[in-house]
Amino acid sequence: MIELKNVCYIYGENTVMEVGALKNVNLKIGDGQFIGLIGHTGSGKSTLIQHLNGLIRATSGEIYFNGQNIYAEGYKMRDLRSKVGLVFQYPEHQLFEVDVFSDVCFGPKNQGLPEDEVKQRAREAMELVGLDESYDSKSPFELSGGQKRRVAIAGVLAMKPEVLILDEPTAGLDPKGRDEILDQISKLKQERNITVILVSHSMEDVAKYVDRIIVMNHGEVLFDDTPGKVFHHYRELEKVGLAAPQVTYITHALMEKGFPIKAEAITVEEAKQEILKALQETNEKIPNN
Ligand SMILES: Nc1ncnc2c1ncn2[C@@H]1O[C@H](COP(=O)(O)OP(=O)(O)OP(=O)(O)O)[C@@H](O)[C@H]1O
Ligand SMILES: [Mg+2]
């Protein structure tokens, strides 16, 4: 469990460049949750998640990890970093070894694990993200954007974090690459039963995976609820530069036209079921049909 209490963060405090990036953020993130953190560019998503593993220290406020204040004297930030794994927005910032396998080994090696276990974890993590042995000796820099991202994710997974945070894991990928990565993350979440926080610009991308959506706007939490409930606010979301999934617009339009449908559908499949159910109910009410 991670808890944020009145967290504020100011870049360049007391300078002319001062930017209030987080304003009084209060959140509780329970174990095993699958969370989408959404917001337009500059809303504070990357700043927020870097607080969760101690990379950025809040200007004011408190953060608790499993009940312990991470800013308390003597708190082991190093342990926090291996428990809360962060995959950066730009994988280039995370990859630096000469070859892929060494890169994936870096985290567990740094945790002080024996060599055998380091290698075993690296192999396992690469398998989880769909990279076979043929990648071992490649330079991380000669890979495609999607492959680099997989290496960066494997590097964090090899540390077996309790919480996995991915900052825009699908940026720059084509729809197929995007679906592959998200499906893999979702599978991983189920297999390892970890907490996952997925940062994204796009509601559409995360809607079918996550069970909670936190919407950020100008450094503040605007909405925090299940996807269906958050999408009810689709008009407010548009005002802050976001859009609900397309099916949300369709279900709402049908509802406004008097079609007896529940507007909670967030995926095309759910919308289909809702529409079929409503049609069936309507037919049953009409005699001789
Ligand atoms: N290193 C920095 N120095 C100064 N200001 C910064 C720095 N990093 C971010 N900011 C500012 O802090 C605010 C929040 O930025 P942040 O990167 O957290 O947003 P974001 O939601 O992750 O955006 P994006 O979707 O573009 O990645 C923005 O106003 C941004 O300009
Ligand atoms: Mg960002």
To test the pocket of ligand 1, the residue of 16, 22, 45 to mutate (highest count of ligand atoms within 8 Å of its CB) is 45
Ligand nearest to the CA of 11: 1
10 Å CB burial of residue 137 (0-12, 13-18, 19+) is exposed
Q: Give pLDDT tens digits for 233-257.
A: 988 998 888 888 888 888 888 888 8
> What sign for the dihedral angle of Cα 208, 233, 223, 229?
negative
What was the pLDDT predicted at 178? Answer: 85
What was the pLDDT predicted at 137? Answer: 95
Report the predicted TM-score, pTM, of the whole model to 2 decimal places.
0.90
- Within 6 A (CB) of ligand 1 lie 11-12, 19, 21, 39, 41-47, 89, 201
Q: Give pLDDT tens digits for 91-112.
A: 888 888 889 999 999 999 998 9
Neighbours of ion ligand 2 (CB under 5 A): 45-46, 89
Strand (E) or helix (H) holding 153: helix 145-157
